[in-house]
Amino acid sequence: MLDPRLFRTNLQDIEAGLARRGFKLDTDAFTQLEERRKVIQVQTQNLQNERNTRSKSIGQAKAQGQDIQALLDEVQHLGDDLKQHEQQLDAIQSELEALLLAIPNLPDAGVPEGLSENDNVELHRWGTPPPFDFEARDHADLGLKLGMDFEAAARITGSRFVTLQGPLASLQRALGQFMLDIHTRQHGYTEVYVPFMVNAESLQGTGQLPKFEDELFRVVRDPAYYLIPTAEVPVTNLVRDQILDPSQLPSRWVCHTPCFRSEAGAYGKDTRGMIRQHQFEKVELVQVVRPEESETAHEALTRDAESILERLQLPYRRIVLCAGDTGFSSAKTYDLEVWLPGQSAYREISSCSNFRDFQARRLRARWRNPQTGKTELVHTLNGSGLAIGRTLVAVMENYQDEHGRIRIPEVLQSYMGGAQVIG
């Protein structure tokens, strides 16, 4: 959530920044609500002051033995008016909060202009797509004889699910373990285990609610739980309603979880294979840092994700998203796109974002600045390090041979009992 004070002092700048995203800010609605809030707040404060003054008068009159019934009646009338004004003020504050919760983050000044993925900017590439002397197959074709079964998953659950058996299941597990080992042993992250279901407040804190409720799986109970769309939600909520000691910053966590997404609005896209599924696994990187460190942390976190691709010898490119394609809560996002020979295209495998204080304000996540002694909002960041299912797809397609076998990347062979080939 953006700082409400900015709307009172820099409304035109906020409107211009959000317009870069293609977001139309209803300035009239905000201005009208803000004017009503000011009027009611002043009236409420005046009534509070008057009631306090009358209460003192009652105490003095009572001490002097005077009849105070008339004074009590006046205070009762003031109390009723004050209660009514407080209720009006609460209602206006709730409207303002609902308006603010629906407004996305301001894009970083250095983010490219544009309104769609066509305006994203490639920053660099690493690796060279493998030169096959045969027609490369996609992972869905390769997986038919290797233990990948979409029909069985459809019978068990429905579309956009998969079952894996034998070496492919082992390879997916190996990828997750490999990523965790690198991030904890070499990149300095602390592994964390979290619930796979969260409450609505947790999703509101990281920005998935209220805007993206249609993309979530909701567990029917009261109060509601939601299956996590990403480990970002429970891990970032570790600092919700906390005041962190300076020694706790930076906090750097890595977490391996299943993720669940309804993919609302994505019907017809990537229906073949494992690219876009309702259930998938991901190793997530989350950082909570001091505000002045978030830009440096963003670069480092993105490099941590890139290093996994490089160790696996998977060609990729880094993209900086334009203002209009940047996610709701993010100020700046890098996408990492891996080369998939079966599609002859680069496809997203990681998204690394700096949210600055946008999530922290919703989460009420703060730290105590030792220089001032005051509490300030932290900055939060996250990125996939990596999406395991898409990494499995990339390994299958980049390491295939003409016979449909899959060579196992050298760094994974020790996780696979020394095996070098699947098939």
In Å, the largest CA–CA distance within the chain is 106
- Rounded CA-CA distance 179/284 in Å is 10
Instruction: List, as residue ranges, the binding site for L-serine.
Output: 230-232, 261, 284, 382, 384
In 10 A of CB 346, how many CB atoms?
Answer: 19
- Quote the tokens at residue 115: 């309104």
Instruction: List, as residue ranges, the binding site for ATP.
Output: 261-263, 348-351
Q: Residue 331: exposed, middle, or buried by beta-carbon count in 10 A (0-12, 13-18, 19+)?
A: buried
- By annotation, the residues acting in catalysis are 261, 276, 348, 351, 390
- Rounded CA-CA distance 171/139 in Å is 14
- Quote the tokens at residue 26: 């209803």
Q: Kindly give the residue spans of alpha helices, DSSP state H, lying in 10-68.
A: 11-19, 27-63
Instruction: List, as residue ranges, the binding site.
Output: 230-232, 261-263, 284, 348-351, 382, 384
Q: Which residues are CB-neighbours of 334 under 8 A, at least 6 positions away?
A: 123, 298, 302, 318, 319, 320, 321, 351, 352, 353, 383
3 state SS of 321: coil
Specify the residue for token string 């290797």: 146
**Count, residues in the chain:** 423
- Quote the tokens at residue 321: 């998203």
- Rounded CA-CA distance 33/112 in Å is 33
